[in-house]
Structure 1
Amino acid sequence: MPDNHNGRREQWGSRWGLILAMAGNAIGLGNFLRFPVQAAQNGGGAFMIPYFVSFILLGLPLMWIEWGVGRYGGSLGHGTSPAIFDALWKSRVAKYVGILGVFLPLVVLVYYIYVCSWTLAFSVFSALGSYPVVEAGSGAVSTASYLAPYRAYLNDYIGASSGGAFFTPLPIAYFFFIVTLVMGMAILGKGVAKGIEVLNKIAIPALFVMAAVLFIRVLSMNSPVDSNVTAATGLAFLWEPDMSGLLNPKVWLSAAGQVFFTLSLGMGAIITYASYVKHSDDIALAGLAAASFNEFAEVVFGSTIALVSAVIFFGPQGASVIAGDGAFSLGFISMPAIFTHIGYGGFYGFIWFLLLFFAGITSVVALAQPAIAFFEDELGWTRRRSVITLAIFFFIAAHLPMLVTGALDELDFWAATLGLVILALFEVIIFFWIFGAEKAWEEIACGGRIRIPRVFFYIMKYVTPLFLFVILVAWGYDQLPGVLSKSGVGVWLGRAFLLALLGAHIYAVKVAWKRRRNRRVTEDMQ
């Protein structure tokens, strides 16, 4: 395994590899499952107006800020936010605020690796043709009843059929979880250039090819029960705007939230990836290119494949029911039902779930890299030790969402909803208001192949933090009371796990800074 124990940090092997890796970090399951559901539930085509406004005022500015923060930290030998915040803000609390940049992605991965393993399993199930078959238009009185066998198939796989406080997943689910975990850790063990970069050079182009194949197939589909329902019907369902939604604040919050999720902002991964960029290298154009890859995957492919297929097969009303049930229903229940009724359905099902797996595994390695960078940069661990430690941690911790009902939702809210907005707000305040707006702007512009319009300086300094504050307050007001009122085994175990893991991070930071002080004393004595 590569080792930076001698003090020399790794770097990306090529600019193209960096862009694809950043795109792989952003492109995840949410592009193909969460985005179409959000669009369908929030005004269809009208949703794209607040979505692109949020992309300009929130997504691009935060993305460039995180690239700038990461590259600056990398020039000092640091790749995670505890040490970088400490360098930007000379305060005792800075390093503890920065803990979020390592803590949040670890929490997300506790359940994300398991969900990612579902996609690998279902790609195999598609190839083997093991789904139940319900004849189109024969005996199913509603979308819900038609999909019941496919819902039962997923519930049996994850062990949720009993509806109790605990899951009892099938052994095959456990097997695919282990395979996904080992695969992700093996890639991380190869290092940044030979592991993560190589993965993304293969996975991202392959993902776009598979998405294009499915895109073409969807546009050529016809309804099995109504010849008047075509791909045009599905596109109209998704894109015909309900302009009244623009007056609903929740639509704007949903759009802003989707931009957060889709660009992987506030998760610490972009900062860590950018820390392996040379200080003289471009981040302005590279960041824009990575974001563009992600937006193309989401808006063109993500919006079309799953939801338009559902409209064609189940009709607009049925698709609304599916979208209302959420992303898992769309991706793991309705899509298998569709694949069993189209020509070469096993092949298309295989590449659909393989596409999702590629999207997932590239995000897995991205979210794990901040912890590895912290171990290497701040604790002086070898990559081998870092990867093995993470593998053991994920193997143990993943049993919480795997076996306990409600734990996944609890972890997801605190880490992937509330936590990322808090971290992003601190990033903007520390970089633009404490470190200094002009210095931050110069850091972002250094080595740029394009000149970012000066208007973004004012957006980053004033508009983006205000936008983040509004989102934080609104989400806290709308969702926090409901989350805090929950109870049950999964909820309390999830909260106990979060507190224990946060405590471990605080302890690790204390050890790292004690190690740093001891090293300085030794150097002074020499």
Structure 2
Amino acid sequence: MVQREQWGSRVGFILAAAGSAIGLGNIWRFPYVVYENGGGAFLIPYFFALLTAGIPILLLEFGIGRTGKGSAPLSLSKLSRKFEWLGWWQVMICFVITTYYAAILSWSINYFFYSFNLSWGEDTEAFLFGDFLGVPDDVVTAAGWKLGGLQWHILLPLAAVWAGVYYVLVRGVKQGIEKMSKVFMPILFVVMLLIVIRAVTLPGAAVGLDHLFAPNFGKILPSFLGGTNPAWYSVWLAAYGQIFFSLSIAFAIMITYSSYLDKKQEVNNSGFIMAFSNSGFEFLSAIGVFAAIGFMAVSTNSDVKDVAAAGVGLAFVVFPKIINAFPALNGAFGALFFLSLIIAGFTSLISIVEVLIAALMDKFRLSRKAAVNWVVGVIAALSLAYTTGAGIVLLDIVDHFINNFGIVIAGLLEVILIGWFANATRIREENNLVSDYRVGAWWNVMIMGVTPLVLTFMTYMNFRLEFSEAYGGYPFHALITFGWVMVGITLAIAFTLAYAFRWKQDSDREVRGA
């Protein structure tokens, strides 16, 4: 039996796990989520979600991977052969995400260099969608069917991204992922700290921070408790959604990473450290982003709500505008901001691709180099679609469906199958045996009760919203093809890999318990 790779140290594992969790969403999504959902009051549902869903699922996946000693499909199949398909579905979800995540990194690399001479000009929105992305005028109505040709200035950095991914992953867990994490994660924290220090010293920074953190309890409470928001429950769902996506849970990453742990290595405390490190970085990012937004609002005599944005709009439209307005050192601040996106995105991409590599190595007994060749080769080719003029539309639709109807449903099935039909208590007890402190029965309540209820309600609301209006105003045929069909294909491939292919050699004996 081939000896499975292991992390070289506990610190290396925690930094790698944090590197996976701390991604683009921490920087460009979380600040706006806080601002839109009650400001400082949002901390209540946020930490409630962290303690009732985020950390319990994180510890569950640490336990599954540590004891299963395999990729998600292998570790879940050791709990029950009937669970293997779920592991493969999570792998396929990662497969889809990698194809567009790398493209966003390519954009960030371009903008890093654009920062030095402010190449995006004054009209940053026109530059992004016109000069840079080459989006056709009828992109919404064409919705992905009119590609618009390759954008070479995006393709070349994309090739560099995949070269970097290949270099790290072919070197393995200890020499590749762990070493990279030990270098990149401290740099990322220092870079973000520099961004925050510069942002909070700008004129108007206090205005942005006041809008960010001023508590609006009316948004998070039902009317019978004095709330003023009829859709108060949506704020709590937003908190669970943020925790769910930002911790890299429910799509095989933490199962894969924890499978490289020594069986005697500490689990519970490592999980709490990683989770709160992720939260700390999110709040640090929020301070830096909204301090800069406050400066922009004051400089242009605008309201914060007219400047604030999330996602692609924040990173590639609003922030270039802010950088343009800087009183000094524009290029340096811009370079730091986009460097933070590059590092956060790259460490997350590494973890997502490793999920695919580990699964192929386990199932088909491929060498690491062969698995890396196959995985990086295929997804790098598919990611070319996002370097075309229609790339932004494809990314928008695919990301929406894979998150709302892939990750959320996969997470729901994971806690139901393992919490209700496997011995979840045994997983908790095995974690406790090697941990600095014990986790009690509250964990079972979260895994078996609270989390399934919340994810069921999230799934219901996602379906309800999806069928009440066309997402993004895109044509129905595009949402079917690039959304529903894409999710269906990932599920079909998952069942095929689980039931049409046998485990090779040692893995087969491990699954059968021989």
Normalised to the residue count of structure 2, the TM-score between the two structures is 0.89
Q: What is the rounded CA distance, in whole Å, between the counterparts of 2:51 and 2:148 in structure 1?
A: 42
Where does residue 285 of structure 2 map in the other structure? 302
Q: How far did residue 336 of structure 1 move?
A: 1.3
Asked if the contact 2:87/2:252 (under 8 Å) is kept, the reply is no
Q: What is the rounded CA distance, in whole Å, between the counterparts of 2:311 and 2:89 in structure 1?
A: 26
Q: Deviations over 1:105-148 (max 9, x none)?
A: 1111111110122111111111344231x4xxxxxxxxxxxxxx
Where does residue 366 of structure 2 map in the other structure? 381
Q: What is the rounded CA distance, in whole Å, between the counterparts of 2:258 and 2:56 in structure 1?
A: 15
Where does residue 442 of structure 1 map in the other structure? 429
Where does residue 161 of structure 2 map in the other structure? 180
* 2:206 pairs with one of 228, 232, 237: 232
C-alpha change, 1:170 and 1:90, in structure 2 (3 Å) is: closer
| The 10-residue stretch of structure 1 (387-396 or 199-208) with the greater mean CA deviation from structure 2 | 387-396
C-alpha change, 1:483 and 1:57, in structure 2 (3 Å) is: farther
Q: How far did residue 452 of structure 1 move?
A: 2.5
Where does residue 159 of structure 1 map in the other structure? 134
C-alpha change, 1:193 and 1:517, in structure 2 (3 Å) is: closer
The SS at the match of 1:279 is coil
Q: What is the rounded CA distance, in whole Å, between the counterparts of 1:186 and 1:84 in structure 2?
A: 27
Q: How far did residue 487 of structure 1 move?
A: 2.2
C-alpha change, 1:28 and 1:188, in structure 2 (3 Å) is: same
Q: How far did residue 519 of structure 1 move?
A: 6.5
Q: How far did residue 499 of structure 1 move?
A: 4.4
Q: What is the rounded CA distance, in whole Å, between the counterparts of 1:319 and 1:449 in structure 2?
A: 45
Where does residue 228 of structure 2 map in the other structure? none
Q: How far did residue 321 of structure 1 move?
A: 2.7
Where does residue 372 of structure 1 map in the other structure? 357
C-alpha change, 1:517 and 1:261, in structure 2 (3 Å) is: closer
RMSD of equivalent CA atoms: 2.4
Where does residue 508 of structure 1 map in the other structure? 497
Asked if the contact 1:96/1:506 (under 8 Å) is kept, the reply is yes
Does residue 98 of the first structure (1) align with residue 82 of the second (2)? no
Where does residue 218 of structure 2 map in the other structure? 244
The SS at the match of 2:265 is coil
Q: What is the rounded CA distance, in whole Å, between the counterparts of 2:372 and 2:339 in structure 1?
A: 25
Does residue 275 of the first structure (1) align with residue 245 of the second (2)? no
Asked if the contact 2:202/2:291 (under 8 Å) is kept, the reply is no
Give the AA of the match of 2:126. A
Asked if the contact 2:89/2:490 (under 8 Å) is kept, the reply is no
Give the AA of the match of 2:395. L
C-alpha change, 1:317 and 1:267, in structure 2 (3 Å) is: farther
Q: Deviations over 1:372-429 (max 9, x none)?
A: 0111111101111111111221122213344336322332123222211222222222
Where does residue 220 of structure 1 map in the other structure? 201
Asked if the contact 2:206/2:294 (under 8 Å) is kept, the reply is no
* 1:60 pairs with one of 55, 60, 69: 55
| The 10-residue stretch of structure 1 (459-468 or 48-57) with the greater mean CA deviation from structure 2 | 459-468
Asked if the contact 1:68/1:274 (under 8 Å) is kept, the reply is yes
Where does residue 126 of structure 1 map in the other structure? 115
Normalised to the residue count of structure 1, the TM-score between the two structures is 0.87
What are the residue-to-residue correspondences of 1:96-495 with 2, within 5 Å?
96-132=85-121, 134=122, 149-155=123-129, 156-160=131-135, 162-164=137-139, 165=142, 166-168=147-149, 170-222=151-203, 230-246=204-220, 247=222, 248-299=232-283, 301-315=284-298, 318-323=303-308, 325-342=309-326, 343-403=328-388, 404=390, 406-482=393-469, 486-489=475-478, 492-493=481-482, 495=484
Give the AA of the match of 2:78. A
Where does residue 16 of structure 1 map in the other structure? 11
C-alpha change, 1:349 and 1:169, in structure 2 (3 Å) is: farther
Q: How far did residue 89 of structure 1 move?
A: 2.3
Does residue 33 of the first structure (1) align with residue 14 of the second (2)? no
Q: What is the rounded CA distance, in whole Å, between the counterparts of 1:152 and 1:358 in structure 2?
A: 26
Does residue 89 of the first structure (1) align with residue 69 of the second (2)? no
| The 10-residue stretch of structure 1 (353-362 or 104-113) with the greater mean CA deviation from structure 2 | 104-113
Give the AA of the match of 2:162. L
Asked if the contact 1:431/1:440 (under 8 Å) is kept, the reply is no
Q: What is the rounded CA distance, in whole Å, between the counterparts of 2:302 and 2:500 in structure 1?
A: 57
Q: Which runs of 5+ in 2 are unaligned?
A: 223-231
Where does residue 142 of structure 1 map in the other structure? none
Q: What is the rounded CA distance, in whole Å, between the counterparts of 1:504 and 1:399 in structure 2?
A: 22
Q: What is the rounded CA distance, in whole Å, between the counterparts of 2:441 and 2:492 in structure 1?
A: 41
Q: Which runs of 5+ in 1 are unaligned?
A: 1-5, 135-148, 223-229
Q: Deviations over 1:134-167 (max 9, x none)?
A: 4xxxxxxxxxxxxxx1011211212225343334
C-alpha change, 1:53 and 1:317, in structure 2 (3 Å) is: farther
Aligned residues: 487
Q: How far did residue 276 of structure 1 move?
A: 0.5
The SS at the match of 2:502 is helix
Q: Give the share of equivalent positions with the same residue, in percent.
A: 28
Where does residue 71 of structure 1 map in the other structure? 66
Give the AA of the match of 1:361. F
Where does residue 146 of structure 1 map in the other structure? none
Give the AA of the match of 1:437. A
Give the AA of the match of 1:197. E
C-alpha change, 1:395 and 1:355, in structure 2 (3 Å) is: same
Q: What is the rounded CA distance, in whole Å, between the counterparts of 1:119 and 1:410 in structure 2?
A: 20
Asked if the contact 1:306/1:331 (under 8 Å) is kept, the reply is no
Asked if the contact 1:72/1:275 (under 8 Å) is kept, the reply is yes
Q: What is the rounded CA distance, in whole Å, between the counterparts of 2:462 and 2:487 in structure 1?
A: 20
Asked if the contact 2:151/2:387 (under 8 Å) is kept, the reply is no
Q: Deviations over 1:453-496 (max 9, x none)?
A: 44333223322222222222222222355458942457524555
The SS at the match of 2:116 is helix
Q: What is the rounded CA distance, in whole Å, between the counterparts of 1:280 and 1:339 in structure 2?
A: 49
C-alpha change, 1:53 and 1:19, in structure 2 (3 Å) is: same
Q: What is the rounded CA distance, in whole Å, between the counterparts of 2:177 and 2:405 in structure 1?
A: 28
Q: What is the rounded CA distance, in whole Å, between the counterparts of 1:383 and 1:337 in structure 2?
A: 44
Give the AA of the match of 2:370. R
